[in-house]
Amino acid sequence: MLKSVEWGQFKLGDLFDVQTSKKRFDANKVTVIKSGQYPYVVRQGSNNGQKGFISEDESFLNDGNTISFGQDTATMFYQEKPYFTGDKIKILKPKEKRFRKENAQFFISTMAKAFSSFSWGSSSFNVNIIKSQSLTLPVLGSKKIDFDFMERFIAELEAERIAELEAERIAELEAYLSAAGLKDCQLTLEEQQVLDDFEHGRFVWGEFKFKEVFDNIVQGKRLKKDDQIPGDIPFVMAGTTNTGVVNHISNPVASFPKNSITVDIFGNAFYRSFDFGAGDDTGVYWSKKCNYAREAMLFFTASMSNALERKFDYGNKLRSSQSLDMKMQLPTLNNRPDFFSMETLISAIQKLVIRDVVQYADQKIAAHEQVINAS
């Protein structure tokens, strides 16, 4: 698209009047609020240069449909609406009647290139030198600025960015659904009912010893950091960073099966969906007799964490052999663990979390579109 374009050179001063703001408002002497009618533009490089909003004498407002220019930082932003300014902000008022938000970003990009060799705080940012900078712009045969091309080009870039964000959203959703073993994030009638029962206290709870739930409760094996050989086996030690996975090793240490739970010496519990090794500061819990569903194991993990919370530290370390008779609370049916309720509740919670991720992605796309529309 750009290869077939004819380009021309223009002095900034021929395209814009470089004006001094009508009044400089000191950031330390005004009340800046998060929302309001008139933006307060300073020399910052984010949020379109807007520090917030202020309420001052409207006679000191600078015109909208202009570019704010940080005089010693070369930060440039299109300002659609009238605005107040802080220190050392110049106002670039267009001489071309067709200048508007649909093409402003093209002007700003070529201006940024023109000023890219200037150092921060450079004394050469005086008005005459600002006016003398040469801008490269697309032109028609008559050497007039090709505004139609600029607006098409910016519109295509914006459309591509929105498409990228939407593709990222779909990829994120598919990744979360796949990791959770779900097809979608819509609650079924059963999930909604179990969630309502949980939230309204209709579960019947019972206490179960750890040894009643798991037929294998084993402590990991000691393996010093200096002795760890790089490999593919996740190695778990005490801690919460990266859920306790401190390294990937190849040492022939005791390997523990996936669909297990680890509990370290501080009582931190994590579910493991993969085979792994564990250090001697970590206990491992699983069952050969009962092939618990992943959702049930996640429920056990949460209940165990609740049972162990704030009970162990460096002065009182937990060993798996000490936990055999410790109890976790589980929903019950006929005095037995209610696996249907546990698994359905976990499935519902996973979907709600994924729904939050989807909503966050949608908000990110909407925010980007809002920035585009406001620029």
Residue with tokens 């380009």, as numbered in its chain: 7
Residue with tokens 């408002």, as numbered in its chain: 25
Calculate Rg over the CA atoms of the chain.
31
CA dihedral 126, 130, 131, 133 (to 10 degrees): 140
Rounded CA-CA distance 160/166 in Å is 10
What single-letter DSSP state applies at residue 38?
Answer: S
pLDDT digits (tens, 9 = 90+) for 222-244: 998 889 999 999 999 999 999 99
Rounded CA-CA distance 36/48 in Å is 15
pLDDT on residue 361: 64
pLDDT digits (tens, 9 = 90+) for 72-118: 788 899 999 999 998 889 999 999 999 998 899 999 999 988 888 77
pLDDT on residue 368: 58
Q: What is the pTM of this model?
A: 0.56
The residues pairing with 316 across neighbouring beta strands, listed in sequence order, are: 313
279 phi and psi angles, rounded to 5 deg = -80, 175
Rounded CA-CA distance 122/293 in Å is 65
How much of the chain is helix, strand and coil, in % rounded to 5? Answer: 35, 25, 35
Rounded CA-CA distance 350/201 in Å is 20
pLDDT on residue 118: 73
Domains present along the chain, CATH in parentheses: 8-145 (3.90.220.20), 204-337 (3.90.220.20)
pLDDT on residue 374: 52
Rounded CA-CA distance 361/262 in Å is 32
Q: Which of 46, 47, 56, 78 is nearest to 65 (CA)?
A: 78
pLDDT on residue 120: 59
Low-confidence ranges of the chain (pLDDT < 70): 1-3, 119-125, 173, 176-177, 182-183, 254, 360-375
Average pLDDT for the chain: 88
Rounded CA-CA distance 92/106 in Å is 15
CB 111 within 8 Å of CB 118? no
- 241 burial class (0-12, 13-18, 19+ CB within 10 angstroms)? exposed
CB 278 within 8 Å of CB 235? yes
